[in-house]
């Protein structure tokens, strides 16, 4: 298991602080080796990638491409050419939606789920509404917020172009059966697009084992810098896709009359990329590998299980998501009867410097399906410990007395 005290010392924002940070599903903290590498880029390199033929520019490019190779290894990709750097998971999914619109030559349905984050709904919705060739259709969830597999199988057909879904719900923490969903998509001739933003921070994801066509995730949810997303795509599919952005580096030749796109993945990386963030992300992957993804998963599971046990003892508190014994992502969403989630979050911050998330979590369709106006969410990571769960529970009880929740 992880030595949390030792881990916590690696995080400047938490060192010698009494903050209980339980908003990791939104953004994680960044360890010192990563921030040090960010600073090192600006202090020691500070140059652009690819174009320079002087030593410092070549060193920058080498570090940049080293991160690409390391990212490919981290998710089991066959080649670093299958790794596209973006600015976040949202941009990755927007690239896919745009390219699909201009690439696929047949009409059909784009399936998303009611449990999806807005970033895996709105790009497809915008694409479908701007075209008369595609129709957006939602796969239902049940009252507990979990995917309705019967509804999915009924809606998947030879007319389906893509199935886009989250590996783990960012609201209720429910795991989706990624391999089964991918196989169902492929059996119907559809592409399998996975939002891995909540999965990658806690457990290994091998793209070849799951046979996904595309995977999107963000660095800032897994101890990395902000402003960096990753899009994995099978190389043969990326080769077929048109680029959504025009600019420097993504083009091999551009005359007044003819244009030739660059090869993948540069074809999708127009303009100067987030160089510092990409180089620093290699240190993020090293840090995660040092801790061990298996150890991270066990630690987060242990914290989540304790939170479920202790929170359910609070009268008037209702927990949403998978039941006892079912594995879930490292988060617990709940409501306290008689207290609005926003008021509870503000009270926890004021009473004991506890940071949780409150609201719709960019997943309004799921809340509507579950007949909820908002939820409170506590999410856990490598620097959290069981004592913080106890303090969370005590603070909720105190907030309940202060705010006048149901007895």
Phi, psi angles (nearest 5°) of residue 252:
-90, -40
Candidates 4, 19, 38, 362; catalytic one? 362
Token pair recorded at residue 20: 């209980």
Q: Where are the domains of the chain?
A: 4-30+292-403, 34-289
The verdict on domain 34-289 having CATH code 1.10.10.1200 is no
β 259-261/354-355 pair status: unpaired
pLDDT tens over the chain, length 407 residues: 799 999 999 999 998 789 999 999 999 999 999 999 999 999 999 999 998 889 999 999 999 999 999 999 999 999 999 999 999 999 999 999 999 888 777 789 999 999 999 999 999 999 999 888 899 999 999 888 889 999 999 999 999 999 999 999 999 999 999 999 999 999 999 999 999 999 999 999 999 999 999 999 999 999 999 999 999 999 999 999 999 999 998 999 999 999 999 999 999 999 999 999 999 999 999 999 999 999 999 999 999 999 999 999 999 999 999 876 677 899 999 999 999 999 999 999 999 999 999 999 999 999 999 999 999 999 999 999 999 999 999 999 999 999 975 55
CATH topology classification for 4-30+292-403: 3.90.1150
Rounded to the nearest 5 percent, the helix, strand and coil shares of the chain are: 45, 20, 40
- d(C-alpha 123, C-alpha 233), whole Å: 17
- d(C-alpha 58, C-alpha 47), whole Å: 9
CB under 8 Å to 3, separation ≥6 — which residues?
none
Record the pTM: 0.96
pLDDT at 101: 81
Active site residue 89: no
254-309: pLDDT as tens digits: 999 999 999 999 999 999 999 999 999 999 999 999 999 999 999 999 999 999 99
183-201: pLDDT as tens digits: 999 999 999 999 999 999 9
């Amino acid at each position: 298991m992880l030595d949390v005290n030792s881990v916590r010392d690696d995080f400047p924002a938490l060192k010698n602080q009494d903050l209980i940070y339980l908003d990791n599903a939104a953004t994680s903290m960044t360890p010192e080796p990563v921030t040090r590498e960010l600073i090192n880029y600006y202090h020691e390199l500070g140059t652009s990638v690819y174009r320079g033929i002087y030593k410092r520019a070549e060193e920058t490019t080498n570090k940049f491409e080293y991160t690409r190779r390391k990212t490919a290894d981290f998710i089991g990709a066959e080649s670093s050419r299958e790794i596209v750097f973006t600015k976040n998971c949202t941009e990755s999914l927007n690239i896919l939606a745009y390219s699909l619109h201009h690439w696929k030559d047949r009409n059909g349905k784009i399936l998303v789920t009611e449990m999806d984050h807005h970033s895996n709904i709105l790009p497809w919705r915008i694409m479908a509404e701007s075209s008369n060739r595609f129709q957006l259709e939602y796969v239902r969830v049940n009252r507990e917020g979990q995917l309705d597999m019967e509804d999915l199988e009924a809606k998947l057909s030879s007319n389906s172009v893509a199935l886009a879904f989250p590996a783990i719900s960012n609201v209720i923490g429910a795991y989706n059966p990624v391999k089964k969903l991918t196989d169902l998509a492929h059996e119907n001739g559809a592409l399998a697009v996975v939002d891995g933003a909540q999965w990658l921070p806690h457990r290994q994801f091998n793209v070849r084992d799951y046979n996904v066509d595309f995977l999107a995730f963000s660095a800032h949810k897994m101890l990395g810098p902000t402003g960096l997303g990753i899009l994995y795509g099978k190389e043969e599919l990326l080769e077929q896709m048109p680029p959504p952005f025009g600019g420097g580096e993504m083009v091999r030749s551009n005359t007044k009359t003819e244009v030739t796109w660059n090869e993948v993945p540069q074809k999708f990386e127009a303009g100067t990329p987030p160089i510092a963030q990409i180089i620093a992300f290699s240190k993020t992957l090293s840090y995660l590998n040092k801790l061990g993804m298996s150890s991270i998963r066990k630690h987060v599971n242990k914290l989540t299980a304790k939170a479920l046990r202790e929170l359910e003892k609070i009268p008037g508190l209702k927990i949403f998501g998978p039941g006892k014994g079912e594995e879930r992502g490292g988060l617990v969403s709940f409501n306290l009867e008689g207290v609005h989630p926003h008021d509870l979050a503000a009270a926890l911050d004021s009473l004991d410097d506890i940071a949780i998330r409150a609201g719709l979590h960019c997943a309004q369709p799921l809340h509507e399906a579950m007949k909820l106006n908002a939820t409170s969410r506590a999410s856990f990571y490598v620097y959290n410990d069981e004592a913080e769960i106890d303090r969370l529970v005590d603070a909720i009880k105190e907030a309940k007395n202060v705010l006048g929740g149901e007895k």
